[in-house]
Amino acid sequence: MDCVFGIDIGGTDVKIGKFYENELVYKTTIKTNREDDGRHILNDIFKKIDELLEGDNLIGIGIGVPGPVLNNSIVSSKNLGWDEVDVLNIVKEKYPNVEVVILNDANAAAVGEMAKGGAVDYHSFLFITLGTGIGGGIIVDDELIEGDTGSAGEIGHIRVGFNNERLCKCGLYDCVEQYSSATGIVKTANNLRIGRETKLNEIEVTSKNIFDLAKIGDEVALEAVNNFIEKLATALAAVTNTVNPEAIVVGGGVSKAGDFLIKRLEKRFNELCFFSVRGTKFALAKLGNDAGMYGTNYMVRKKLNEHKKV
C-alpha cells in the first residue's frame, strides 16, 4: 500500500506518523539526538522509516523543523544545532524517488489544523502556538504563506515593548514571545509576586498554575495573565490588520487554559484592532502534538496531486 511519513522534529523528540491517504495509521516518537550539531537526527529518522515501512510503498516524506526553511530546502535551527543544513537534498539522496517536503514546524501545524483540526471551516486564518515560545502560521485562501525566506508567520518575534526589557533568543528585545508564552508569563509572575500576598509565593510558578490561580481570583496571577493578553492581543491585532483572516486559531500547551484565555484575548483584541477586522473569530486548535504530522502529510499529498494534474 502507498504510504507517506509525516514527521515533526522538535527540540526534545521527533514525532513520526505513517499515513495511508489522510489517515494516520501509526505514530511513534524518538528522541532528538542533538549531539554533534544535530548531525544524527536525520539518520535516526531514516532508520525508523525503513523499520516502519513493512513492505508498503513509500511515496512521500514530509518534515516539519523548528526554524525557517529557505527555498523549501535549507534549514537553520538553533534548537537542533543546524546551520544551513540542506535537509531536502539529504532526504532526496536517501530516498530518490519519493516526494519530499520540508516545512517550518508551526507552518506544518497550521496546515494540519486546516486539514483535520480546529481550522477545517476556514480558508484564511492565523495559527499561533503558545508553548515555550510562540510559533505562527498564515493561511490565505487555503494556501500556506511561506514568504521570500521561509519566515512568514513568525508572529512570536513582533516587538511589543519599547524599553528593551527582555532579550529574545533571536537577538532582539521585547518580542511578544518573551511575554505571551509559558516562559514569558512565568517571568512576569515572578516579577509581580515579590513582596505581595499571592498563592504564587507558596507553589511552583508555572504557566498552568498562574492560569489556574487567576481563574479563582488570585490578583497577582490575574495581573500576570492580563499582561500576557495585552502583549498577545497587540501582536495579533497587527497581523490581523495586515492579513484580515477569517479566524485566529490558538494551539500549544498554554492554550489548555481554554475559554478563560480565549475570551479575554478576544475581548482585548477587539479593542486594539482596526475597526473593520473586529469580530475576527477565535478558535482552539484540536490536534495538539499531532498537528505537524498531519500538516506535513497534507503538503506531500498536495504536491503529489499537483504532479498528477500536469
DSSP states of 254-281 = GGGGTHHHHHHHHHHHHHHS-GGGTT-E
Task: Report how far Cα 257 is from the mean position of its chain's Cα atoms.
Answer: 17
Nearer Cβ to Zn ion, position 172 or 277?
172
Nearer Cβ to Zn ion, position 63 or 152?
152
CB of 157 to Zn ion, least distance (A): 4
Q: How far apart are CA 124 and CA 136, in angstroms?
A: 14
The counts of H helices and E strands in the chain are 9, 13
Mask for 107-146, x = binds Zn ion (CB under 5 A): ----------------------------------------
CB of 156 to Zn ion, least distance (A): 7
CB of 310 to Zn ion, least distance (A): 40
User: In 3-state terms, what secondary structure has residue 42?
Assistant: helix
How many residues bind Zn ion (CB under 5 A)? The answer is: 5
Nearer Cβ to Zn ion, position 59 or 170?
170
Which of 30, 59, 90, 168 contacts Zn ion by CB under 5 A?
168
CB of 134 to Zn ion, least distance (A): 9
Nearer Cβ to Zn ion, position 161 or 288?
161
Nearer Cβ to Zn ion, position 39 or 166?
166
E strand or H helix that includes residue 135: strand 134-140
Nearer Cβ to Zn ion, position 60 or 137?
137
Answer yes or no whether residue 166 interacts with Zn ion by CB under 5 A.
no
The four Cα atoms 110, 117, 183, 83 give a dihedral, to 10 degrees, of -30
Tell me the β-bridge partners of 62. 6, 101
- Contact between residue 135 and residue 252 where contact means Cβ atoms under 8 Å apart: yes
Which of 48, 157, 193, 301 contacts Zn ion by CB under 5 A?
157
CB of 178 to Zn ion, least distance (A): 7
In eight-state DSSP terms, residue 174 is: S
Q: What CA–CA distances, in Å, run from 170 to 67, 114, 120, 236?
A: 11, 28, 32, 19
Ranges within 173-212 binding Zn ion (CB under 5 A): 175
Q: Sort strands 2-9 and 57-65 into parallel, antiparallel or unpaired.
A: parallel
Nearer Cβ to Zn ion, position 17 or 156?
156
Stretch that binds Zn ion, among 7-15, 37-45, 162-170, 254-262 (CB under 5 A): 162-170
H-only helix segments in the chain: 35-38, 41-53, 87-94, 105-116, 182-192, 207-215, 219-243, 259-272, 291-309
- Residue 31: which of 51, 13, 7, 47 has the closest Cα? 13
CB of 163 to Zn ion, least distance (A): 15
Which of 170, 262, 277, 304 contacts Zn ion by CB under 5 A?
170
CB of 227 to Zn ion, least distance (A): 17
Site of interaction with Zn ion (CB under 5 A): 157, 168, 170, 172, 175
